[in-house]
Amino acid sequence: MVRGMNSAEMQKNNRTLVFKLLQERGMITRAEIAVELNLQKATITNIINEFFDMGIVEGDGDGAVGRRGEKLRLKVDNIYTMSIGITRKDFQFGIFDLRGQQLKHCRYQFKKEESFREVLDKMKEEAISLVEEYGDNRILGVCLAVPGLFINRPERGEEIFMVSEFEELSNIDVHTELEEALGRKILIKHDAKLSAYAEWHCAEEIKGIDRGSLAIVRSRGYGIGCGFVVNGNIVNGHLGLAGEAGYMGINFNRHKKGEEGRGTLEYSAGVESVVRYMKERLYEFPESPLNENSNYMDVFEAYKHGDELADWAVSKVAWMLGYGIANIIYIINPDCIIIGPDYPDTEDFINKIRSAVRNFVPEFVERNATIRYSKINEDSFMLGGYYYTLETLCKRGNIFELSVSSARRCVYETGILLHP
């Protein structure tokens, strides 16, 4: 028995652990559950039988219930989580089932003539519409992902937004207004931290490692966002600012009056910096398809097609990014470092970064650091919102009860038995 837990608490904890493992693994046998959780087979059998009685688990259909080797899975097809994401350019919604499959995704691009108040009203309308479509009782939790510097101390009720070129986010309490619109509490987290959490759950390099760690470095058109996960936990820090490596100083000569912020990692290695580097030597390459009006996506596209000017500019971004990653390696020494959008998703770009890293850390250290591009196709912070919602409910100890309650409502509303 875990120290500090009585028998009832232990039973609840064990049920939650089994439920979570079923959710993560998809299909698994009783014996595999017992080994994975280090619990007695009799304990697992009792819990699974209880789940069958409640109609939230089913067998693989190849034989009688309870037979040896029977594969089990959750039967929670009508239970969901919702992720909401805000960026400087758009907002988006995602509905996920408990297996992590995104069932619906919608995105709204901001219009220049719109005020943020108008945008927020549209967000609330969309949120209400999705809740009505999927059922308020069937959505276990909602998570809001936000950009920029975000001070978050929930124990003090403090939420302060400091988002460059998005001051409107600091003037309107988006979190509270969405909660009032939906009539429920909503989790809130920095988007890069949620991206890191999604990568943590999907990274094959650290599957099964109890004390693994991961860092993500991402740039979506402005600045750099970073997030760290250590031992399966998001690193938050005292004010919620841990992981803001984009503000890390890497060029002391740029830290002087009138050039504040120009010595930071995000100024030197954010995706927009490639345009600045390209323009430094633009007129040395008259054959290049790039010009004064080219944006970072144009430069990256030209780089992929072998343009010399673009290759030089991208190499400089990779060198600066490698400098910052070397610092991250020394600070938390992560097992895995993920490069996110909108950087070039090429092996050559990753090799340029690794080459730069070798200038600042011993070769043995560099060889033992996995550095790769993200394998998550959709916006990873939306998937991170799903994982964070489930993990939060598990830590609170009520995901099992919420799922059972939702499943029973499905039976009542549809008249369909989940398990005979």
- Residues 76, 56 contacting (CB under 8 angstroms): yes
| pLDDT for 122 beyond 60 | yes
State the pTM of this model: 0.86
Superfamily of domain 197-373: ATPase, nucleotide binding domain (3.30.420.40)
Q: What is the pLDDT of residue 62?
A: 54
Looking at per-residue pLDDT, the higher value among 137 and 389 belongs to 389
**Cβ atoms < 10 Å from Cβ of 213:** 20
CATH 3.30.420.40 positions along the chain are 80-185+380-395, 197-373
- Residues 330, 210 contacting (CB under 8 angstroms): no
- Residues 265, 245 contacting (CB under 8 angstroms): yes
Q: What is the pLDDT of residue 55?
A: 75
For 7-74, CATH number? 1.10.10.10
Fold assignment, 80-185+380-395:
Nucleotidyltransferase; domain 5 (3.30.420)
pLDDT digits (tens, 9 = 90+) for 307-341: 999 999 999 999 999 999 999 999 999 999 999 88
**Cα three-residue angle 331-334-339, rounded to 5 degrees:** 105
**Cα three-residue angle 206-211-215, rounded to 5 degrees:** 60
Q: What is the pLDDT of residue 16?
A: 81
Length of the chain: 420
pLDDT digits (tens, 9 = 90+) for 100-109: 889 999 999 9
pLDDT digits (tens, 9 = 90+) for 210-241: 678 899 998 877 789 899 999 889 999 888 88
CB within 8 Å of 349: residues ≥ 6 apart? 314, 318, 339, 343, 373
| pLDDT for 408 beyond 70 | no
CB within 8 Å of 215: residues ≥ 6 apart? 196, 226, 227, 228, 229, 243, 328, 332, 334, 336, 337, 338
Residue 185 — left, alpha, or beta (φ > 0 → left; ψ -120 to 50 → alpha)? Answer: beta
Q: Give the pLDDT band (50/70/90) at residue 292.
A: very high
Look up residue 172 and give its DSSP letter: S
- Residues 172, 116 contacting (CB under 8 angstroms): yes
